Structures are given as C-alpha cells and as structure tokens.
Amino acid sequence: MSQVKYSDPGLTLNTAATIPSLGLGVYQLEGEECKELVLQALKTGYRLIDTAQFYRNENAVGQAVRESGIPREEIFITTKVQAGAHTVEGCKRKVEKSLSDLGLDYIDLFLIHGPLMGPEKRVDTWSNLVDFMHRSEGKIRAVGVSNFGIAHLEALREEGLEIPSVNQIELHPHLPQTPIVDYCKSKGIVIQAYCPLMRGQQNQASLGEGAGWAGKAGFGWDHEGLKGVAEKENMTIGQVLLKWSIQKGYCPQAKTSSPTRLKENLDVLHLPPLSEESMNELEKMNLEGREEEVGRLALEWNPVDCP
C-alpha cells in the first residue's frame, strides 16, 4: 500500500508514549465499510484509529491494520469498555475480548467509555484497568477515560489511584467545556475531542439526544463568524474546526466516510496556525450559559455531570 507521510509531533501522554495529534473515529461504521475506510485512512496518512466495544467494529479495524502493510508500532489504536470491567475477572475478559476482536497483540490506549456505571463501579473499573495494564506485559500501553467530569476524576484521585492518561470528551467552539478542560490540563491529562466538526447524529442510533442548535440558521457550520474565519484563513470550515482543536492542545477524533474529506482533514497538520484574531472570533461561538435560548448544547451524550 502506498502511504502518505505527514509530519506530526503528536502529544505526550503521562506514560511518555506519544499519541498522534489527529485521529479517525469509526462510530456507526461496520463490517467491510469500516475496514475499507480505515484502510483508506491509513493509506492517506492517519496513524490514530479510535474504536470501542460498543461500536461493534473492532474486528474490522483490526483487519484493516493487519492488511495495511504498515508496521504495527506506527499505528495507535484506541478502544473503550462501557461496562462489565468492575471486577478483576470481568476486566480481564473485557480486555482480552478487545484484543481477540482486534486480532492485535496489544492496545495502545484503553478507555472507560463513560461514567454512568455509578461511583463504586467507576473506581473499581479504573483500579482494575490500571492493575491490568501493569500486569499485562504490554498488552495495554496506556489507560484513560471518556466523558468524565471533574467530580469523577477527583474520586479516582481521592482513592489514591493513578491519573488517567487521557479524557475523551465532546469539544468544539459551541461547547468548550472550560472547567473540565482546565482541570485535565492542570493534571497532565491529554484531552481528546470528539464531535470536533460540530456534527453529530440526532437519530435513534445515536448515544445522545442531539443539540438544540443543530440545523438552525446561524449555528454550527452556518455561523457567520466561522464562515468568515474559513474565508480569511483560506481553509474549509472543517479544517478551521480541527485547527482550533489542535491549537487548543486537544487531540481531535474526526469522523468522515469521504476519501476526499479524509485527506482534507489530515491536511490541517501541514497548514499554518489560525491567527490570534481568528481564534478570538471562534471563542465568540461559545454557547455555554445560553441553554434556555438555544437548548441542549451537546451533540452526543456528554454525561460529564452525572452522579
């Protein structure tokens, strides 16, 4: 397979491993479609693929990795467990199932998919994952969380447990989630951004309820400030949004099924930074505090405040 080379310094995890600056998300892709898209992404130059047990496509992702011809150590694979890992044996089964479904010898990053399991199971699941990582002889290289809020992370710290390497949350100019972002940065937790392109599902197949602003004039890709920045910077709107995320220090997980968009999104790694003026203009898109006016802000489930 002919492959494109992109210069990407990546982000350093608290394990000293490096995670690529931009990843491909594969939520709601299955079977051959998923495999072919991941193969195309790897050919285009992507080196981070984000899957999950809930997505039911780990097998397709693993097939693509094996068929790509790219050395395994050059590809960063993230997957997630949603429930059932709060016991030692349950954790072991869940991790080994992902390894088996992926058909890979190791997983670069294993996340708890969300905090909805409750306080005790959250702590137990995290403790088990950390222990498995240290005892697994490299089967898991790093562990982290997804959709965790400050209270969830503080509960882990108060138990004397290790700090997660990553917290993956919904982030874009309409939903900057400043408190949890600031907390993660203060603790050295790398922030991965999902829905960075401000597009999400609003149907029954989605985890979330959909944002109140989605599809309305003047919001999302129809925002005049965003369109103005794209024109000024000579970028597509998608590239502006990914560049915003990267310049904020996040690791965005972009989803697309278009080969053209695959390359267009990845090209942000070679584009110049957005100007300070442009970044300030994008800050004005923040809708936090305006929920009564525009409705729900998150495109997906975003349970960072759950008990």
Domains of the chain, start order: 11-294 (3.20.20.100)
- Amino acid 278: pLDDT: 98
Instruction: Check pLDDT > 70 for residue 159.
Output: yes
Give the model's confidence band at 205: pLDDT under 50 very low, under 70 low, under 90 confident, else very high: very low
As a whole number of angstroms, the distance between CA 29 and CA 257 comes to 9
- Amino acid 156: pLDDT: 97
Mean pLDDT of 40-66: 97
pLDDT tens per residue across span 110-126: 999 999 999 999 999 99
CA 89, distance to chain mean position in Å, is: 27
- Amino acid 216: pLDDT: 86
- Amino acid 87: pLDDT: 96
* Bind-site residues: 113
Instruction: Check pLDDT > 70 for residue 3.
Output: no
| Identity of the residue numbered 5 | K
Residue 224: CB atoms within 10 A of its CB come to 9
Instruction: Check pLDDT > 80 for residue 297.
Output: yes
Residues assigned a catalytic role: 55
- Amino acid 246: pLDDT: 97
* Bind-site residues for substrate: 113
Q: Name the strand (E) or helix (H) holding 144.
A: strand 143-146
As a whole number of angstroms, the distance between CA 226 and CA 219 comes to 9
- Amino acid 209: pLDDT: 55
Instruction: Check pLDDT > 60 for residue 202.
Output: no
- Amino acid 7: pLDDT: 76
Which residues in 127-136 are b (16+ Cβ under 10 Å) and which e? bbbbbbbeeb
Mean pLDDT of 206-228: 84
As a whole number of angstroms, the distance between CA 131 and CA 36 comes to 35
